[in-house]
Amino acid sequence: MRTRRAEYSESTRQALVDSAVDLFTERGYAGTSLDEVVKRARVTKGALYHHFSGKQALFEAAFARVETKAIESLTAVVTGDGEPWDAAVAALRAYVRKCLEPEYQRIIVHEAPVVMGWERWREAEEHFSFGLLRTAVQLLVDAGEIEEAPVEIMARLLFGALSAGASTIASSSDPKRTGREVEDAILRVLQGLRKK
Amino acid sequence: MRTRRAEYSESTRQALVDSAVDLFTERGYAGTSLDEVVKRARVTKGALYHHFSGKQALFEAAFARVETKAIESLTAVVTGDGEPWDAAVAALRAYVRKCLEPEYQRIIVHEAPVVMGWERWREAEEHFSFGLLRTAVQLLVDAGEIEEAPVEIMARLLFGALSAGASTIASSSDPKRTGREVEDAILRVLQGLRKK
DNA sequence: GTTTCTCGCATACCCTCGGTATGTCATGAC
DNA sequence: GTCATGACATACCGAGGGTATGCGAGAAAC
């Protein structure tokens, strides 16, 4: 039986992470002060330091929150029914759409590599979206849809291209048109890799 | 006739930018304090604030320094002699090599999008490496080597993929092997876009 | 039911660092 | 030689991350 105290504690922690996600999305890591985070969560810094060792740890919790939510929706797409090719195309589309969400783009794509450092970010991503993307590429290779290739590398290039594409769409004056162009370009690249 | 004062002033400014490049490369923007930059340049903060409106302006000067140097070497490759196809391949190779340089990777690829904000970074890159990469893609389209396509978008995806590839090489335990794999993968992608 | 313990906070404080305001002096103009 | 200017140097301030300590609500023990 879970105590009321444990419940309150967890609720406070959630509120802190929720507030951090909102503020990091809006202002970035450097532009967000811990005082604002705690104010928004209706606690004080003591509570924050009780749950997290510092600002970076809070960021990593925010990162994990956003990515956990992301892979919930992406996993079904990657491992779903249908031809491997169609599943891969659907996964890439879904990933681009995910990158268009403000919190994913700001926290995962833009801020995390710098805040966490590239290597730590890369390592974390193995268990989240990048891991899924690599699975999608692996499934294509296994199904014989594309030539044998170092899956890791191919997935890395795709990951870089997709997030660049999404950032381009997000900052476009005509996101619909840019979105179609990005999608077409990605499909062309993928088609070019396909075995005949 | 240039005065001695003007000369000293320019020398001080250079020293500040040089120091900033070194420290931003080593520690990133957030991890570099202005006191360290001025100490390394053998001046005080008054001098820094005379030449730059703040830390961000100093970063932008560092960015411009690193990119100006980068395009010096990249321009010849993009617009050099030889078949358009070969020139494009050479340009991509040269760009990956450039991304492997610690200062380019840290300041341009990792830090700038966050410090300057994605849109400001993108705008600045139009006049630097990205602009050159787009030229390379444009030359391929003009020469009929690849199908008609929105050059801007294709260049953006490539830019994202190449910098992700370079970051992967830089953090690899076997950079030589990873380097070859990245190169092969990029060539395959490019080959897949080629008109038959 | 009462007392004691624990831990989840709240508060006060400290130091670093980006930025501001003011003063000084080396250089250049006349 | 005198005066003006601008290229600095220095002192100061407040924001913000982090540390240390105290308090009290909830849980456990009796």
Mean pLDDT for back-to-back runs of 10 residues, chain B (196 residues): 88 97 97 96 96 96 96 85 84 91 95 94 93 91 87 94 93 91 92 82
Would you say residue A101 lies in a domain?
A: yes
Would you say residue A17 lies in a domain?
A: no
Would you say residue A36 lies in a domain?
A: no
Q: CA B80, B83, B88, B91 torsion: positive or negative?
A: negative
| Residue pLDDT, tens place only, A113-134 | 999 999 999 999 999 999 999 9
Mean pLDDT of A8-37: 96
DSSP code at position B111: I
CA distances (Å), origin B88, targets A29, A94, A161, B122: 38, 31, 18, 22
Domain span at residue B147 reads: 4-193
Percent of chain A exceeding pLDDT 70 equals: 99
Q: Does A111 touch chain B (CB under 8 A)?
A: yes
Would you say residue A174 lies in a domain?
A: yes
- Using the CA of A48, which nucleotide's C1' is the nearest one? C9
Q: For all residues of chain A together, what is the average pLDDT?
A: 92
CATH at A173: 1.10.357.10
Residue A48: its pLDDT value, please?
97
H/E segment holding residue A148 = none
Would you say residue A43 lies in a domain?
A: no
Distance A3 CA to D30 C1' (A): 21
Question: Are B109 and B160 within 8 A, CB to CB?
Answer: no
Q: Report whether pLDDT(A14) > 70.
A: yes
CB contact under 8 Å between B111 and A114, yes or no, is yes
Lowest mean pLDDT, pick from A76-90, A130-144, B141-155: A76-90
| Residue pLDDT, tens place only, A22-34 | 999 999 999 999 9
Q: Report whether pLDDT(A146) > 70.
A: yes
Which CB contacts under 8 angstroms, 24+ apart, belong to B69-78?
Answer: B70/B98, B70/B104, B70/B108, B70/B128, B70/B129, B71/B128, B71/B129, B71/B132, B73/B98, B74/B98, B74/B129, B74/B132, B75/B132, B78/B132, B78/B133, B78/B135, B78/B136, B78/B139
CA distance B4 to A15: 60
CB contact under 8 Å between B114 and A118, yes or no, is no
Would you say residue A86 lies in a domain?
A: yes
Would you say residue A50 lies in a domain?
A: no
Nearest to A34 by CA among A153, B29, A47: A47
- Using the CA of A49, which nucleotide's C1' is the nearest one? D18
Question: Are A78 and A87 within 8 A, CB to CB?
Answer: yes
pLDDT band at A196 (very low <50, low <70, confident <90, very high): low
Q: How many domains does chain A have?
A: 1
Percent of chain A exceeding pLDDT 90 equals: 74
CA distance B105 to B86: 25
DSSP A34-83: HHHHHHHHTS-HHHHHHH-SSHHHHHHHHHHHHHHHHHHHHHHHHT-SS-
CB contact under 8 Å between A156 and B164, yes or no, is yes
Residue A193: its pLDDT value, please?
87
Would you say residue A42 lies in a domain?
A: no
Which tokens hold the place of A88?
Answer: 């891969």
Burial of B68 (0-12, 13-18, 19+ CB in 10 A): exposed
Greatest mean pLDDT among A36-40, A147-151, B169-173: A36-40
HSE value, Cβ hemisphere, 13 Å, CA-based, for B104 = 23
Q: Does B182 touch chain A (CB under 8 A)?
A: yes
